[in-house]
Structure 1
């Protein structure tokens, strides 16, 4: 912790940027409350315990529950009940759903596989808003959800399918890891999880986090979209790629 403090001091001296300790928290796992408090006092920051959010997303290594995703649902409902939406026509509500409401979950989807119940709830609320407006009451829907989520060329309304979007976001994580991207988290994954291992065939560790487990489970689906280019063969592994 003293080393971290020295690094932060050096960073401040070089860049002229000072750390805002009043807005900084320390989250530690596997230590007693007293030990965590002692570490936090070194940096003069507060010690926090789960549940904790960062940039609006819960920090957790376990499976997300409905309660964890409640802020996402609340944000969608808040946007629906905004007074400006009361004067929207059907076309206006459709555009709001396409451009705003179905986009709220994308930020979360890039980090977590969201619970099916949460995605179903969001999709249902969007459908009710589309057909009923802000009254959100019961009214006959002129088309089922699976139909309005089709592309317009296929007879739908072009609304994004949240479940497919969530799955696609996780496949994107798989591809970034497989391609050994330059981002910090990909480098960390290779150093911490994949050192001396082959990504496509390694077994899922029993003690890994829920997020990493989901990434590894997504490999089978991602493999359907992979095309191998042999080239000079230096990056091809006979026992794994063929």
Structure 2
């Protein structure tokens, strides 16, 4: 019996309980990706001890040992500090904050959504600062904007809907770089940004409108879910936003929430 089988066994016996946002949604006790594992249980000392026992049994049976140096624990905001300390002592691993990243993306996105993705803005800013002092033609700036700057947020946008404030900040930096800027002067922007984002055959430069590109990437994810109705992701989102109809029959607000909340 593998690790997944052991987790299913103790969950069926009621020894641990995974995460479920509401009664109609699937209860998730674990997620596996490559050699990474994310385990869920209630903030109870008994359940944490069960997790430790499972990992010990799995280690003896498979010879594989969890890497404690790369293991962390995350508590919900309503977990009491003394209980957090007790559980940390049992598990022997440190806790993490909201904005830690996993596979290059925020593991947790709270209400301060812009702060969760501030690393994108910082990455764009650092790139532009490195090019600011160089003498670049408009053709060179076009290539750098399309091939580098507008590619930076693509990976994050394929999974999350970025805050409008963050998108605006990035586009402001791109516009300044396109028209030229320095620390004490601002050059005239001769054409509206919307016009620059139109195709070249229509008189624009073909730059991407980041917000619309973000929505297109998320719509692609929705299409992937439609073609994989047995996936855990689809089951959770269906139970959340369109439990009594298909995704194509869902109203506009459901579509928006699907893209907004897609994991």
> TM-score if structure 1 supplies the norm length?
0.69
Q: Deviations over 1:193-217 (max 9, x none)?
A: 4796434356899xxxxx9972178
> Whole-Å Cα distance in 2 between the matches of residues 212 and 4 of structure 1?
37
Correspondence 1:214 to 2:257 = yes
The residue that corresponds to 1:81 in the other structure is 129
Quickly say closer, same or farther: Cα 1:66–1:14, change in 2 above 3 A: same
The residue that corresponds to 2:213 in the other structure is 165
Match of 1:27 among 50, 58, 74: 74
Count of residue pairs the alignment pairs up: 212
Asked if 1 retains the 8 angstrom alpha-carbon contact of 2:124 and 2:152, the reply is yes
Asked if 1 retains the 8 angstrom alpha-carbon contact of 2:160 and 2:260, the reply is no
The residue that corresponds to 1:235 in the other structure is none
1:37 Cα deviation from its structure 2 partner: 2.8
Q: Tell me, what secondary structure is at the counterpart of 2:205?
A: coil
> Whole-Å Cα distance in 1 between the matches of residues 220 and 54 of structure 2?
33
> Whole-Å Cα distance in 2 between the matches of residues 178 and 53 of structure 1?
28
Quickly say closer, same or farther: Cα 1:115–1:35, change in 2 above 3 A: same
Correspondence 1:126 to 2:170 = no
RMSD: 3.6
> TM-score if structure 2 supplies the norm length?
0.65
1:47 Cα deviation from its structure 2 partner: 1.8
Q: Tell me, what secondary structure is at the counterpart of 1:108?
A: helix
Q: Which runs of 5+ in 1 are unaligned?
A: 206-210, 219-242
Correspondence 1:198 to 2:241 = no
Asked if 2 retains the 8 angstrom alpha-carbon contact of 1:86 and 1:133, the reply is no
Q: Which runs of 5+ in 2 are unaligned?
A: 1-47
Q: Tell me, what secondary structure is at the counterpart of 1:46?
A: coil
> Whole-Å Cα distance in 2 between the matches of residues 189 and 130 of structure 1?
40
Q: Tell me, what secondary structure is at the counterpart of 1:48?
A: coil
> Whole-Å Cα distance in 2 between the matches of residues 151 and 13 of structure 1?
61
> Whole-Å Cα distance in 2 between the matches of residues 63 and 9 of structure 1?
37
1:3 Cα deviation from its structure 2 partner: 4.1
The residue that corresponds to 1:117 in the other structure is 165
Quickly say closer, same or farther: Cα 1:195–1:152, change in 2 above 3 A: closer
